[in-house]
C-alpha cells in the first residue's frame, strides 16, 4: 500500500490552518449543488466553483506562478471569484485591478508588485493593451470572456491544472489579496491583507447581517473593491448564499433582477439608490424578499432613507463603513437605530474594537472629537514597500483611520470628517459631511461635495460643488438661502459651484482632491 503520509509540517498545516481557499472547499461540501454564482446565462453551483478553483490553483502551481501576486482585470464576472479562491488554495495573493484608475497608474501598480501573470477579461482589451505597454514584469496574459478566443484561452489554462485540492503550506498570516489605494494624494500604495484578516472579516459580516443559505445577494458594486468582495461575496460562500453579478449599474435591470430572483440583500451607493427609486412605477414592484438595503461611501439624507424603506417595506436600511486597510466593514448600523441614529456610522462590527484618540495617543471619553482608531483581526498586514507608512498607521498600538469623529454613550460612532477634509474657516472647524447632508436635502440637488479653498480673509472658505437633478433649476442664491435656514452662519458656503458631473474613484467616491485643485483660484484677494 502506498504511504499517504505527507511532510509532518504540511500535515499539521493542513489540519489547523485558516485559509481563504478552504472556504470554497467547505462550501462545496456543505452546499454542493446550491447556486453559488449567477452571471448572465451562467449559473454555477458551489461544487462547480470549487472544482474550477482547484484547477486554477493547480495551474498556477504547474506553471510556477506562485512567487508573486496574480493580477485580475475584470468586471463582476464569475471567473473573478473562481480565480480568487483558486489562487488562495495555491498560496498565491490575488491583486484585483481598480478599473477606475488610468492605464499608467495600473501599470505602476503591476510593476510595483512585480506581477508576472495577468488574468484579463477580453471585453477590457483596450485598457489591458494600454496597461501592458507600460507593465514590464508581465510574462503571461490569460484571457477570459464570452468569445471563442478568450473562452479557449481560459479553458486551456484551467486544463493545465486538475480538480485535486492543492496541498501546500499556507500560513494564516500569508497574503491572500493585494489591493492598491485610489492614490488620491500620491502614488497608490499596495495594501497587503492576510488569509486570517479576510476570513475574520467574512465571518463577522455573515454574523452581522444574519446571512444564511436562503439569502441571495446582488453584486453591482465592483468586486475589485474590498467592500463588496470581502464583506458580501466571500461571506455568502461561508453560509451558502447565492451571489448574483452585474457588470454595470442599470437601475431598471437591478429592479428586474431583484424581483425575478427574489434578492434579499442589496448593496448600493447613495446615487444608485436614488436612481433605483426613480425607475418608473417602482412602487408597483414586488420587493418583499429584500431584508437588507445597505449603502456606503457617502451620506444619505433621512428623506432618502425613508423613501427606500417605503419601497422595500421588509428591509432594514443600513449604512456600512470601512476602508481598504481594515478589510471592511469596521462599523455597521443596527436596525434598531433606523430613524433614530441614521446619521451615525453605527457601532463597531462584532470583530472590531473602535475608539477615539487624540494626537498624543490618548483614548478620549464619549462625546470628545478625535481620530477614529481600530483594533482587530481585520487589519492589513502592511503597505507594500512602505515600512514607514505602515509603522505610522499602527502607532500607539491602534490602526489610524484618518477619519475624525466621536463615540456616544451607547458605543455608536459618529463621523465628523476625514482629517484632510475638515474646513478650517475663520478659526472654526466645519465638517464637510454636515454641509453636504444639508445640501442633499434641497429638492433640486442631485449630489454635492463640500471643500475648503484658500481664502485671503477666512483662511479657508467653505465651498459647495453641486450637481442638480435633471430638469431641476436653482441659483446660487437659492442654495445659499436654503443653507442659511438649516446651518450655523459660519458653516454656510461662501460660494456654490455648479457642475454636470463629479470626478470619482472606481468605487464612486467623489475625488475631493481633484475639486480642490480644479477650483483652487476661485477666491481672489478682494473676496471678503
Residue 473 belongs to a domain with what CATH number?
Answer: 3.30.300.30
C-alpha pair distances (Å), 37 with each of 209, 233, 243: 19, 10, 5
pLDDT value of position 460: 87
Domain boundary, last residue among 361, 391, 418: 418
Verify that 362 and 456 share a domain, yes or no: no
Verify that 410 and 436 share a domain, yes or no: no
Verify that 397 and 428 share a domain, yes or no: no
Verify that 38 and 135 share a domain, yes or no: yes
Contact present, 503 and 514 (Cβ < 8 Å) = yes
H or E segment and range at residue 235: helix 234-239
Q: Is residue 133 in some structural domain?
A: yes
Domain boundary, last residue among 127, 160, 194: 194
Verify that 174 and 285 share a domain, yes or no: no
Q: Is residue 499 in some structural domain?
A: yes
- Which of 502, 380, 519, 494 has the alpha carbon at shortest distance from 446? 502
Domain boundary, last residue among 177, 194, 211: 194
Verify that 190 and 79 share a domain, yes or no: yes
Q: State the Cα–Cα distance between residues 254 and 329, nearest whole angstrom.
A: 23
- The distance between the two most distant Cα atoms of the chain, rounded to a whole number of Å, is 92
Verify that 164 and 85 share a domain, yes or no: yes
Q: Is residue 7 in some structural domain?
A: no
Verify that 489 and 438 share a domain, yes or no: yes
Task: Note the pLDDT tens digit of each residue in 217-272.
Answer: 999 999 999 999 999 999 999 999 999 999 999 999 999 999 999 999 999 988 89
Q: What is the pLDDT along the chain (528 residues), one digit of tens a residue?
A: 456 678 999 999 999 999 999 999 999 999 999 999 999 999 999 999 999 999 999 999 999 999 999 999 999 999 999 999 999 999 999 999 999 888 999 999 999 999 999 999 999 999 999 999 999 999 999 999 998 888 899 999 999 999 999 999 999 999 999 999 875 556 889 999 999 999 999 999 999 999 999 999 999 999 999 999 999 999 999 999 999 999 999 999 999 999 999 999 999 988 899 899 999 999 999 999 999 999 986 667 788 899 999 999 999 999 999 999 999 889 999 888 877 888 899 999 999 999 999 999 999 999 999 999 999 999 999 999 999 999 999 999 999 998 989 999 999 999 887 777 888 887 777 888 889 989 999 999 999 999 999 888 788 899 999 999 998 999 999 999 999 999 988 899 999 999 999 998 766 778 888 999 899 999 974 444
pLDDT value of position 299: 61
Sign of the Cα torsion 373, 376, 380, 381 reads: positive
> Which ranges in 247-329 belong to alpha helices (H)?
251-260, 270-277, 302-311
Total domains in the chain come to: 3
Verify that 254 and 362 share a domain, yes or no: yes
Q: Is residue 503 in some structural domain?
A: yes
Parent domain of 268: 249-418
Q: Is residue 526 in some structural domain?
A: no
pLDDT value of position 458: 84
Verify that 41 and 171 share a domain, yes or no: yes
What CATH code is carried by the domain that includes residue 365?
A: 3.40.50.12780
Verify that 111 and 147 share a domain, yes or no: yes
Q: Is residue 13 in some structural domain?
A: no
Q: State the Cα–Cα distance between residues 304 and 277, nearest whole angstrom.
A: 9
Q: Is residue 312 in some structural domain?
A: yes
Q: Is residue 211 in some structural domain?
A: no
Burial 3-19, CB ≥16 within 10 A → b, else e = eeeeeeeeeebbeebbb
Q: State the Cα–Cα distance between residues 131 and 123, nearest whole angstrom.
A: 14
Verify that 30 and 128 share a domain, yes or no: yes
Amino acid at each position: 500500500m502506498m504511504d499517504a503520509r505527507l511532510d509532518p509540517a504540511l500535515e499539521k498545516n493542513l489540519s489547523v490552518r485558516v485559509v481563504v481557499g478552504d472556504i470554497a472547499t467547505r462550501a462545496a461540501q456543505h452546499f454542493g449543488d446550491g447556486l453559488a454564482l449567477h452571471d448572465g446565462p451562467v449559473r454555477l453551483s458551489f461544487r462547480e466553483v470549487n472544482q474550477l478553483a482547484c484547477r486554477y490553483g493547480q495551474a498556477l502551481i504547474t506553471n510556477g506562478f506562485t512567487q508573486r501576486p496574480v493580477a485580475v482585470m475584470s468586471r463582476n464576472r464569475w471567473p473573478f471569484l473562481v480565480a480568487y479562491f483558486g489562487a488562495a488554495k495555491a498560496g498565491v495573493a490575488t491583486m484585483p485591478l481598480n478599473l477606475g484608475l488610468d492605464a499608467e497608474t495600473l501599470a505602476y501598480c503591476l510593476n510595483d508588485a512585480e506581477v508576472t501573470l495577468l488574468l484579463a477579461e477580453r471585453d477590457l482589451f483596450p485598457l489591458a493593451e494600454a496597461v501592458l505597454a507600460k507593465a514590464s514584469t508581465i510574462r503571461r496574459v490569460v484571457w477570459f470572456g464570452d468569445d471563442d478566443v478568450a473562452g479557449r484561452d481560459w479553458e486551456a489554462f484551467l486544463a493545465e491544472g486538475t480538480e485535486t485540492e492543492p496541498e501546500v503550506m499556507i500560513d494564516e498570516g500569508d497574503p491572500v489579496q493585494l489591493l492598491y489605494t485610489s492614490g488620491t494624494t500620491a502614488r497608490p500604495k499596495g495594501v497587503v491583507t492576510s488569509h486570517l484578516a479576510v476570513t475574520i472579516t467574512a465571518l463577522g459580516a455573515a454574523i452581522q447581517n444574519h446571512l444564511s443559505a436562503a439569502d441571495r445577494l446582488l453584486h453591482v458594486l465592483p468586486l475589485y473593491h474590498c467592500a463588496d468582495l470581502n464583506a458580501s461575496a466571500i461571506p455568502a460562500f461561508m453560509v451558502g448564499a447565492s451571489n448574483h453579478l452585474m457588470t454595470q449599474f442599470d437601475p431598471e435591470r437591478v429592479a428586474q433582477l431583484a424581483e425575478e430572483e427574489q434578492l434579499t440583500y442589496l448593496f448600493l451607493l447613495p446615487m444608485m439608490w436614488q436612481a433605483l427609486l426613480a425607475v418608473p412605477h417602482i412602487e408597483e414592484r414586488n420587493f418583499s424578499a429584500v431584508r437588507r438595503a445597505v449603502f456606503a461611501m457617502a451620506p444619505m439624507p433621512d428623506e432618502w432613507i425613508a423613501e427606500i424603506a417605503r419601497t422595500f417595506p421588509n428591509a432594514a436600511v443600513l449604512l456600512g463603513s470601512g476602508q481598504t486597510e481594515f478589510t471592511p466593514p469596521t462599523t455597521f448600523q443596527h436596525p434598531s437605530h433606523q430613524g433614530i441614529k441614521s446619521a451615525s456610522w453605527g457601532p463597531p462590527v462584532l470583530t472590531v474594537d473602535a475608539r477615539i484618540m487624540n494626537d498624543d495617543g490618548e483614548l478620549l471619553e464619549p462625546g470628545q472629537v478625535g481620530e477614529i482608531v481600530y483594533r482587530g483581526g481585520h487589519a492589513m498586514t502592511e503597505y507594500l514597500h512602505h515600512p514607514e507608512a505602515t509603522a505610522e498607521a499602527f502607532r500607539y498600538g491602534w490602526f489610524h483611520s484618518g477619519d475624525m469623529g466621536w463615540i456616544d454613550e451607547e458605543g455608536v460612532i459618529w463621523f465628523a470628517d476625514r482629517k484632510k477634509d475638515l474646513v478650517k474657516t475663520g478659526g472654526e472647524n466645519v465638517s464637510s459631511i454636515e454641509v453636504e447632508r444639508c445640501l442633499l436635502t434641497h429638492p433640486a440637488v442631485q449630489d454635492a461635495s463640500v471643500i475648503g479653498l484658500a481664502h485671503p480673509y477666512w483662511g479657508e472658505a467653505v465651498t459647495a460643488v453641486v450637481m442638480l437633478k435633471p430638469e431641476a433649476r436653482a441659483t446660487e442664491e437659492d442654495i445659499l438661502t436654503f443653507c442659511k435656514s438649516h446651518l450655523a452662519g459660519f458653516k454656510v458656503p461662501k460660494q456654490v459651484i455648479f457642475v454636470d458631473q463629479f470626478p470619482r474613484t472606481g468605487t464612486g467616491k467623489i475625488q475631493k482632491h481633484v475639486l480642490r485643485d480644479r477650483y483652487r483660484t476661485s477666491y481672489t484677494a478682494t473676496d471678503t
